[in-house]
């Protein structure tokens, strides 16, 4: 069994769902699996989470329907150690990743087409870079604003980004579109 298949299985097993939105899948990789490599040199990046999603779709481990992904295999039968964490070997399995980061979205034909990285992930990266906070801190702050103001996470990210000096104007239309497409 490939590390990619094991990683897909663990995402669905830990989420306890048969289908996940693309964002849920990426966020599970990005925030919840506590990605590491044998040298301990860092967490998964949003672009890498996108690559994993794309590779799983290309290799037929996931299928796309109406913006949701589901495994094409019985993920519950995959034996994964309780403390499993994907390693950098998974990225080697995916190739060099020289292409621009994209996420797959369904087209009118139901097949996957490439689209830009979700604006929420880009905002998290920009806020972390501008503020000096790690991504986990950024997400925690976004969650507090979501809870306090009852707004979408993307809107909360815009507010926090503005507070720390990110030029949020370039994201407003993308955030609007992302929210309307929910």
Among candidate residues 76, 105, 134, the one where a domain is terminated: 105
Contact 28, 19 (CB under 8 A): no
For the stretch 6-18, pLDDT in tens is 889 988 988 888 9
CA distance 138 to 136: 5
Residues 9 and 71 in one domain: yes
Residues 91 and 173 in one domain: no
Q: Is 139 in the same domain as 93?
A: no
Shared domain for 25 and 92, answered yes or no, is: yes
User: Is residue 165 pLDDT above 80, yes or no?
Assistant: yes
Structural domain count, the chain: 2
Predicted TM-score (pTM) of the model is 0.53
Identify whether residues 89 and 24 lie together within a single domain: yes
pLDDT tens readout for residues 26-69: 878 877 766 644 444 456 666 777 888 888 898 899 998 888 89
Does 110 fall in a domain? no
Strands (E), 33-179: 62-65, 68-71, 102-106, 112-116
Residues 97 and 17 in one domain: yes
- pLDDT tens string 62-99: 998 888 899 999 988 888 777 777 766 676 767 644 33
* 166 and 131 in a common domain: yes
Are 91 and 130 within one domain? Answer: no
Structural domain span for residue 157: 119-180
Task: Estimate to the nearest angstrom the gap between the alpha carbon of 134 and the chain centroid.
Answer: 16
Q: What is the pLDDT of the chain when averaged over all its residues? A: 78
Could you tell me if 67 and 89 lie in one domain? Answer: yes
Tell me, yes or no, whether 84 and 162 share the same domain.
Answer: no
140 and 74 in a single domain? The answer is: no
Mean pLDDT to the nearest integer, 106-133: 69
**Encoding tokens for residue 113?**
């087409």
Pair (13, 86) in one structural domain: yes
CATH number at residue 92: 1.10.10
């Amino acid at each position: 069994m490939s590390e990619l298949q094991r990683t897909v299985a663990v995402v669905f097993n830990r989420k306890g769902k048969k289908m996940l939105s693309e964002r849920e899948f990426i966020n599970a990789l990005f925030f919840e699996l506590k990605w590491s490599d044998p040298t301990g040199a860092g967490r998964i990046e949003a672009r890498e989470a996108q690559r994993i999603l794309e590779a799983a779709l290309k290799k037929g481990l996931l299928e796309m329907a109406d913006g949701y992904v589901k495994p094409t295999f019985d993920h519950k039968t995959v034996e994964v150690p309780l403390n499993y964490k994907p390693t950098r070997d998974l990225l080697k399995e995916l190739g060099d990743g020289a292409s621009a980061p994209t996420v797959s979205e369904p087209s009118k034909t139901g097949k996957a087409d490439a689209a830009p990285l979700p604006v929420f992930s880009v905002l998290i990266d920009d806020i972390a870079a501008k503020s000096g906070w790690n991504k986990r801190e950024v997400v925690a702050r976004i969650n507090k604003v979501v809870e306090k103001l009852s707004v979408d996470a993307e809107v909360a990210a815009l507010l926090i980004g503005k507070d720390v000096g990110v030029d949020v104007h370039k994201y407003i239309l993308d955030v609007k579109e992302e929210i309307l497409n929910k």
